[in-house]
Structure 1
Amino acid sequence: MKLVTYNTQYGIGRDGRYDLERIAAAVTGADIIALQEVTRNFMRNNGADMVAGLAELLPDYFHIFGVAMDIDFGLLENGKPANKRLQFGNMVMSRWPIVASRNLLLPRTRRLSRGNLQRSALEALVMAPSGPLRVYSVHTDHISQEERIAQIRHLKERVYAFAAEGGVLTGAAEYGFPELPCPEEFLLMGDFNMVSGSPEHLVMTGVPDPVEGPQIVTHHPVDAYALAGGVPDGSVSWTDTTHPEKTRLIDYVFVQANLAARVKSVRIDSDAAGSDHQPVWVELN
């Protein structure tokens, strides 16, 4: 099973050009795709509907879109509401049915010195051939470490509560539906805006024992870069063309402990040019 996560930067590459076909080409071949910074009616890409565009370019995939930020500036057409809402969020695409989804809004603060968009984690319950699987397309804050820590704590609480809560629906027989599966296994995929070993990264994975090192435990996700040989030192997944010194690895895949042994490989596609980020691929046995 091949999975990929890609922050699309609204479909705009480092050359400043919007080209959704580059995004689609970079993720073609994956079984499950997690995308971030997907938009509708955003001025930076001339109001493109990226959801419709990606669905058209990748017609063999089931897809869901989770709106994190939704704004209507009150535009009128012929004196009536245009209903052109600026939407910003995450997307999951899958070769196999996505039988249920939730959009988990992450905590945020009222920041005034810099823009602060509502962030979210889009949950997809995928009916993979190997069994049902939860996949989350995640995007955390890019300015505040304090905010990222709060968002990661909240995300972990929600993800690990799934088994007790049962996702979007339980007792489905009352409505004539079969009971939805409740898998323990999950992957958290996306742009976490943090570096390995940072306080927020340790909140996610747990603090390694000073003598025995990191352990695989059921209450912490496992960083895929720590598995299957990882990626070469110095690898990056995001490039800042204005301030090259800020370029770093901030896109991750974290797997539930039961999946750690199934991680066959992880790699960063350094050739993709459709965004200021690079796709991160993980293959599971």
Structure 2
Amino acid sequence: MKLVTYNTQYGVGRDGRYDLGRIAAAIEGADIIALQEVTRNFMRNNMADMVEGLARLLPDYFHVYGVAMDIDFGTVGDDGKPANKRLQFGNMVLSRWPIVASRNLLLPRSRRLSRGNLQRSALEALVMAPSGALRVYSVHLDHVNLEERIAQIRHLKERVYAYPMEGGAISGAVEYGFPELPSPEEFVLMGDFNMVPGSPEHLVMAGAPDPVEGAQIVAHHPVDAYALAGGVPDGSVSWTDATHPEKSRLIDYAFVQAGLAASVRSIRIDKDAQGSDHQPVWLELA
């Protein structure tokens, strides 16, 4: 199974050009795709509907979209009536196999006044893969404040690990004539975490290594796939600052539930993709 995560930066590459075809080409061949910074009616990409565009370019995939930030400043049409063109910013999951349920998990945030602070979220998708049901999360954390990222990670982990007890989007579905959905423990968290390896928030996510014995795989922490199957070379980056290249860093990740750690075959960063200021990160599971 091949999974890929890609922060699309509204479909705008480092050349300043909006080209959704480049995004679609970069993720071609994946079985499950997690995307971040997917927008509708955003001025930075000429008000494009990226959800419609990606669905059209990738017609063989099931998809779900989770809106994190949703605003409308009261625009009206030529007829003077409400245009209902909402600026939406969020995450998307696409899958070759049915996505039978999803939830959009809004992450905690503060009222920041010195810098813009968009509502962030993690989009949960229950995928019916041939090997069994799998939960996949497309995650996007705050990019400015460490304290906020830590709060978001704690909340995300709480929601992810509560899933088997809650039953996801619905339980007792027989009352409505639906089959009962599976509640798998297995999950993959993919996306733009805006943190670097070994940072305080990374330790909150994956656990602090023992000073003598090193990192351990435990049931209550997701496992960083970079630590498995050889990882990626030192100095690898997944986000590039074109103005200040020295600020480029590794901030896009895939984390797996502990029971899936042995299934991680490889993880790699696609250095050639040009559709965003981020690079796609590919994960292969046995």
Q: Distance in 2 between matches of 1:75 and 1:256?
A: 44
For residue 112 of structure 1, what is the aligned residue in structure 2? 113
Once the 2 structures are TM-superposed, how far is the Cα of residue 242 of structure 1 from its aligned partner? 1.5
1:160 aligns with 2:161: yes
Give the SS at the match of 1:118.
coil
Q: Distance in 2 between matches of 1:253 and 1:105?
A: 19
Q: Distance in 1 between matches of 2:173 and 2:10?
A: 37
Report matched runs for 1:106-185 at 5 Å: 106-185=107-186
> When the two structures are aligned, how many residues end up with a matched partner?
285
Once the 2 structures are TM-superposed, how far is the Cα of residue 146 of structure 1 from its aligned partner? 0.3
For residue 54 of structure 1, what is the aligned residue in structure 2? 54
Give the SS at the match of 1:76.
coil
Q: Distance in 2 between matches of 1:69 and 1:243?
A: 28
Deviation per residue, 1:186-244 (Å, 9 max, x gap): 00000000000000000000011110000001100000000000001110000011121
Report matched runs for 1:70-89 at 5 Å: 70-77=70-77, 78-89=79-90
- The letter for the 1-side match of 2:151 is A
Q: Distance in 1 between matches of 2:245 and 2:25?
A: 26
Q: Distance in 2 between matches of 1:129 and 1:283?
A: 15
Give the SS at the match of 1:5.
strand
Give the SS at the match of 1:147.
helix
For residue 40 of structure 2, what is the aligned residue in structure 1? 40
Give the SS at the match of 2:136.
strand
Report matched runs for 1:88-99 at 5 Å: 88-99=89-100
Give the SS at the match of 2:52.
helix
Give the SS at the match of 1:153.
helix
1:27 aligns with 2:56: no
Q: Percent identity?
A: 84
Give the TM-score of the pair, scaled to structure 2.
0.99
Once the 2 structures are TM-superposed, how far is the Cα of residue 245 of structure 1 from its aligned partner? 1.6
Report matched runs for 1:156-235 at 5 Å: 156-235=157-236
Deviation per residue, 1:165-189 (Å, 9 max, x gap): 0101111111111100000000000
- The letter for the 2-side match of 1:220 is H
Q: Distance in 2 between matches of 1:227 and 1:217?
A: 14
For residue 12 of structure 1, what is the aligned residue in structure 2? 12
Q: Distance in 2 between matches of 1:136 and 1:120?
A: 10
Give the SS at the match of 2:150.
helix
* RMSD over equivalenced CA pairs, Å: 0.4
- The letter for the 1-side match of 2:134 is L
Once the 2 structures are TM-superposed, how far is the Cα of residue 144 of structure 1 from its aligned partner? 0.1
Once the 2 structures are TM-superposed, how far is the Cα of residue 91 of structure 1 from its aligned partner? 0.1
Give the SS at the match of 1:161.
helix
Once the 2 structures are TM-superposed, how far is the Cα of residue 258 of structure 1 from its aligned partner? 0.6
Q: Distance in 1 between matches of 2:245 and 2:236?
A: 14
Give the TM-score of the pair, scaled to structure 1.
1.00
Give the SS at the match of 2:272.
coil
